[in-house]
Structure 1
Amino acid sequence: MRAAFSLLALVVVAAIVLTLAKKQATALKPPAAGASAAGTTVPQPQAVGQQVQSSIDDAARRAAEAASAATN
């Protein structure tokens, strides 16, 4: 009897785990083609690179200004 309950408990736990895994897998699927056209567009890698470079240049300029102000 104890073995039957143990086996039943394992089946119930396996069913719960598989159900949660299925929900997670469907959440990871990319949206349909029609939905992606209506959503936001993904930025181009070159645009992101330019934005990062601009931020780095601004930070370097501010650091240089702060260093020169500290020595004066």
Structure 2
Amino acid sequence: MATDGPTVRPIWYLWEDGAFWILSGSWSRLPALVRERPRIALSVDVCERYLGADEERWDPRFREYLPLLGVS
């Protein structure tokens, strides 16, 4: 259902040096939507809940994507 109001979207994120980075790919419409309407709210959950503390067990697609963002 389309809406013109708030929506909840699960996303990967990075909180670093006081900045909230949305991790998405070129296929995503979310960055353009945020640029069009920058008034947003964030609800943050802890990454370890989904990925675990052992980075070697993370999905390779996620591990390979982080260096492209300059995250090591």
- Establish whether TM, by shorter chain, passes 0.5: no
More strand by share: 2
> TM-score w.r.t. structure 2 length?
0.17
Q: TM-score, normalization: structure 1?
A: 0.17
Please tell me whether Structure 1 or Structure 2 has the larger radius of gyration of its CA atoms.
1
